[in-house]
Amino acid sequence: MAGAEEQAPVSPASAPAAPWRNFYGRTSGKTLRPIQRRRLGAELGPLVPAGIDRATNPERRPVDLRTLFATPRPLWLEIGFGGGEHMVHQAARHPEVGILGAEPFINGVAMLLRRIDEAGVRNVAIHPGDVRDLFDVLPAGSVGRVFLNYPDPWPKRRHHRRRFVTPEHLDPLARVMAEGAELRLATDIPDYMRQALEEVPPAGFALRAGPEPLPPWEGWITTRYEAKALREGRAPAYAAFVRSAAPVRAAAPPRAG
């Protein structure tokens, strides 16, 4: 998400869970408008599953999937949903599934809440924090589809190990995905796709489709970040990976710096 903006004073009710791992992104941007604060105060809480953050689940016990949505349903995950447009679009298209989204940028969470309101979707849950918190506590094989739309590009070579497509993220992601589940990636950075093609398969995935200049699946909508990439002359590329039966590698230790 772009722009150096004033830090938003965020109330405890709306604050993302305090990070306990290295997190290099932004958790807040422009000062939240009163209506956004009200939404965060009143509407976020009921959509946040219990037992995800370390404060409520320091032992990192697995969450009971039946508590995520009002009725049991297949679980999909969107990593870094930004303003939430793609997540709400998917929720509306697939009322039979439950979509859990993780996003530490609180302004994005506020945008998602507005979109949920406008679309009237009921099959979404929100973790207003780092997706790795979810990897700790989601049961193995519990996720049926994952969207990774325009992950932070970290263009400098010395920052490539911060990218999502590294073992520190991919191995725990592979653990929570069911065999046959799909990981859908969109990026505007050719070197990001290069790294994904190199690092995703050894984490227990096979390339199913792409990389292509058009999404190799139905139901794509342009996200805010994609619109910005197009305006700035960068070309989107898409790929889909399928979780294979390969066992998950031993967890890589978190990197410092």
Ligand X SMILES: C[S@@+](CC[C@H](N)C(=O)[O-])C[C@H]1O[C@@H](n2cnc3c(N)ncnc32)[C@H](O)[C@@H]1O
Site string for ligand X, 177-206 (x = CB under 6 A): ------------------------------
- Taking Cα atoms as reference points, which of 117, 63, 123 lies closest to residue 92? 123
Give dist(CA 127, CA 103) in Å, integer.
7
Which one, 14 or 223, has the nearer CB to ligand X? 223
Which one, 43 or 152, has the nearer CB to ligand X? 152
224 contributes a contact to ligand X by CB under 6 A:
yes
- The total number of residues written for the chain in this structure: 257
Cβ-in-10-Å burial (0-12, 13-18, 19+) of 43 comes to middle
**Min. distance of Cβ 61 from ligand X in angstroms?**
21
- Taking Cα atoms as reference points, which of 221, 216, 237 lies closest to residue 85? 221
- Taking Cα atoms as reference points, which of 237, 157, 252, 238 lies closest to residue 202? 252
| Closest residue to ligand X, based on beta-carbon distance | 80
19 contributes a contact to ligand X by CB under 6 A:
no
Contact (Cβ atoms closer than 8 angstroms) between residue 211 and residue 201? no
**Min. distance of Cβ 248 from ligand X in angstroms?**
19
Show the tokens assigned to 101: 């989204």
**Min. distance of Cβ 108 from ligand X in angstroms?**
5
Give dist(CA 108, CA 21) in Å, integer.
21
Q: Phi and psi (nearest 5°) for 101?
A: -120, 140
Sites for ligand X among residues 64-103 (CB under 6 A): 79-82, 102-103
Catalytic residues: 152
Count residues near ligand X (CB under 6 A).
22
Contact (Cβ atoms closer than 8 angstroms) between residue 66 and residue 54? no
Sites for ligand X among residues 118-157 (CB under 6 A): 130-132, 149-152
Report the 10 Å Cβ neighbour count for 5: 13
Question: Quick one: which segment of 3-11, 224-232, 236-244, 247-255 binds ligand X (CB under 6 A)?
Answer: 224-232
For residue 211, cis peptide bond before it (omega within 30 degrees of 0): yes
Give dist(CA 34, CA 40) in Å, integer.
10
Which one, 165 or 181, has the nearer CB to ligand X? 165
Question: Quick one: which segment of 3-11, 56-64, 219-227, 238-246 binds ligand X (CB under 6 A)?
Answer: 219-227
**Min. distance of Cβ 162 from ligand X in angstroms?**
9
Which one, 36 or 223, has the nearer CB to ligand X? 223
Which one, 48 or 246, has the nearer CB to ligand X? 48
172 contributes a contact to ligand X by CB under 6 A:
no
Give the binding site for ligand X (CB under 6 A).
1, 25, 79-82, 102-105, 108, 130-132, 149-152, 223-226
